[in-house]
Structure 1
Amino acid sequence: MNQEYTIQDKARMKYLQLAESIITQIKSGELNIGDQLPSVNQLSLSYGMSKSTVLMGLNHLSEKGIIEAVYRKGYFVRKSSVDHDHRVFFLMDKITVFKEELYQAFFNQLKDRADIDVYFHNHNYRIFERLILENLHNYTHFVIIPILKEDVTGVLNQIPPDRRIILDYNQEGLTGNYSSVYQDFAGDLYSALREVRDRIEKYRRLVLVLPENIYYGHLVREGFEKYCAEFGQASAIISKVSEDNFSPGDVYITLNRYDIDDVNIIKEVHRRRLQLGKDVGLISYNDLYMKEVLEGGITVISADFTRMGEAAAALINENRIAKIKSPSKLIIRSSL
């Protein structure tokens, strides 16, 4: 047992020796920012180390941000010293008000301890795959919002589980002991509807407006159908609100990220001289400043993106692995 520990300890000392040697060469000017390092084979021969030990040393420097692994090209010098304890690869779908809140909360908690590089995949699988695969050895942590139509589990499973933090969407099929901070879309809607059941019952029908391009739509639908079945609620699911399918006596749940359906409902309420919150009900996803004052206030179901960002940062700061359900908040206003 002692002998095994000694062998492992010596291997660790070897790869750290390699790392320190490369850092010394950078600081002395022998290697400059942007220079390519010798190949793994060349370093193995030069230092008399196994290829696996050389790779450990290179990965150690990549995680610290001193060198960068460029896909199919090799390793290049990125900087001359270590500024922080962690290097974080932060991959978002796209920038929105809510994602900006999430990132700012995350950054504020880690700014003194981590270098954070932000990327966007814009729901494009090829971009998503390329960004991750090209950076597998360059970061200590990978914080990812994996909202795409395609199945991305194969790509995500290539990230070591202890470095993987999944945000917002609880991706299924991932292997290993990894972290996540996610919304429970089905459970949150079901709970919210139960909380306002007395208000819903004054309306004729509960209508879920579910656009086809909502990536988590099947989960929202699950929570909606569970509530309607349990309480015998008359219901309907439509893809958008229009003059033809708008009906007084309905209470609408809207998810459109641009709030187009909210606008169409309010326009129809005005056109028909109805009253929002009396003749027609409205529950909208994700709170914005305008929804607090629009039409006297729009009832919302909204994730707490600030808490989500802080929770993800805490997992890194505390060096722990956990799966955390980030609760949504229901804000009842006059539209219901």
Structure 2
Amino acid sequence: MSKDSAELIIIDEYSKTPKYRQIISSITNSIQQEKLKIDDKLPSVNKILIEFDISRDTIVKAYDYLKANKIIKSVPGKGYYVMTNDISTGPRVLLLFNKLSAHKKIIYDAFSMELGEQAAIDFYIYNNDFKLFKRILQEKEESDYTHFVIISHFLEGGNSAIEVINEIPKSKLIILDKKIDGLTGEYASVYQDFEKDLYQVLTEMIEKLSNYERLKLIFPNYTYHPESIKNGFQKFCDEFAFKYSIINDVNTDDINEGDAYINLMEDDLVQLIKRCREQNLTIGKQIGIISYNETLLKEILLDGITTISTDFELLGKTAASFIKTKTKAHIPNPFHVKYRASL
């Protein structure tokens, strides 16, 4: 008799984890919890398709993976059956990112690839919203996961995040991208040192920057980016006697020949380019542009946008290596510049 799919399979529509991976995790968890035993029949592809409104290809992909790993078997004309209860348990990770972007995808891809197929990853995006972040964590059972991997950036309410994160067992916690002041216990982290990174990379760029009269940092009033970025920028400009200003809105700033901009947000980069074109200012000669966070698009946009960026692929790989080796280190992630035609 086939088991009821509703008892065995959990599909979370809010999770960014691919649905085929959610099916795999559901089946393997059911076997480990003895809801499924050897020779028990699994729900048919058609039954899952109808009940969860999932494509046939997604379900078949999950079942093919389970077959390839000799967890289930198919009997022609009858269906799929549990083949073994001896499942090597990989890490079960709750992965929480503040937003989904090109560089966050690089982190996720590197992280999941480094962990391998044996890992079960529940991936959620909380859109810089502290209330959603808190709700996701409170709705999850701590015992369901071996690790909690978190990027902590909020538009507001972030001061209360420390209380929520401190409730996670530190042996299971890995913090990515940003240090969290006040976090107690022994946990792992791979982080950017935003103030130090920006100061050092601008120091490396000083010869190029000297071609411009004024440096401008576009730092919106309403942003999740840490204030330490402004500190690093101001420290550099003061120490090396650069004229500078911090701009809250690129749409209202007076753009003049000899300005060099550092932008954090992709939308601000687009608006800056549009306004330079409207004023017939040549980017890379009359106006300089440096953009945070390396992406493939910035390699080709305007023959190349100069970027300052952490190594997102390495960040993801390092986080995964912490899980595999049970490391509890705090490691700064490398930060570097890629010169292109915009500067």
- What's the counterpart of residue 141 of structure 2? 135
Greater mean alpha carbon deviation, residues 128-137 or residues 205-214: 128-137
* Whole-angstrom CA distance in 2 between matches of 1:299 and 1:94: 23
Aligned-residue CA RMSD (Å): 2.5
Aligned-partner Cα distance in 2 for 1:117–1:143 = 10
Identical-pair percentage: 38
Q: Distance in 1 between matches of 2:150 and 2:95?
A: 6
**What's the offset of the Cα at 1:243?**
5.8
Report the alpha carbon displacement of residue 201 of structure 1 after superposing the two structures with TM.
1.4
Q: Deviations over 1:233-288 (max 9, x none)?
A: 111001121365212211111111xx232233323333333321221111111122
- Give the aligned partner of residue 72 of structure 1: none
Matched, 1:276 2:288: no
Query: 1:161, 1:24 → 2: CA distance?
Result: 25
Q: Does 1:203 align with 2:208?
A: no
Structure 1 position 332 matched with structure 2 position 339: yes
The alpha-carbon deviation at position 23 of structure 1 amounts to: 6.3
Question: In structure 2, what is the equivalent of residue 89 of structure 1?
Answer: 94
What amino acid is the match of 1:143? V
Q: Shift of the alpha carbon at 1:26?
A: 4.1
Specify the alignment match of 2:10 in structure 1.
Answer: none
TM-score of the pair, normalised by structure 2? 0.72
Equivalent pairs, count? 267
Q: Distance in 2 between matches of 1:186 and 1:260?
A: 23
Structure 2 partner of 1:306? 313
Q: Once the two structures are superposed, what CA deviation does each residue of 1:104-155 show, in whole Å capped at 9, x if it has no partner?
A: 1111111244221112222222221122233222111111111123220111
Q: Conserved in 2, the CA contact under 8 Å of 1:110 and 1:317?
A: yes
> How many Å separate the matches in 1 of 2:337 and 2:195?
14
For residues 254 and 89 of structure 2, the distance between their equivalents in structure 1, rounded to whole angstroms, comes to 56
After superposition, the Cα gap between the structure-2 partners of 1:172 and 1:82, relative to the gap in structure 1 and judged at 3 Å, is farther
Give the whole-Å Cα distance in 1 for the aligned partners of 2:288 and 2:148: 41
- Output the amino acid matched with 1:177: E
281 and 176 in structure 1: CA distance in 2 versus 1, 3 angstrom threshold: same
Contact in 1 for aligned 2:247/2:253 (Cα 8 Å) = no
Cα 1:86–1:203 change in 2 (3 A) is same
Q: Following the alignment from structure 2 to structure 1, what is the Cα–Cα distance between the partners of residues 218 and 242?
A: 16
So what's the TM-score if we normalise by structure 1? 0.73
Aligned to 2:273: 266
Q: Choose 1 or 2 for highest CA Rg.
A: 1
Once the 2 structures are TM-superposed, how far is the Cα of residue 84 of structure 1 from its aligned partner? 2.2
Distance 2:277 2:104 in 1: 33
**Structure 2 unaligned blocks of 5 or more:** 1-30, 43-84
After TM superposition, give the deviation of residue 181 of structure 1 in Å: 0.8
Q: Deviations over 1:78-97 (max 9, x none)?
A: xx764523211111112211
| 5+ long unaligned stretches in structure 1 | 1-21, 34-79
Alignment partners' CA distance in 1, 2:310 and 2:280: 33
1:153 aligns with 2:162: yes
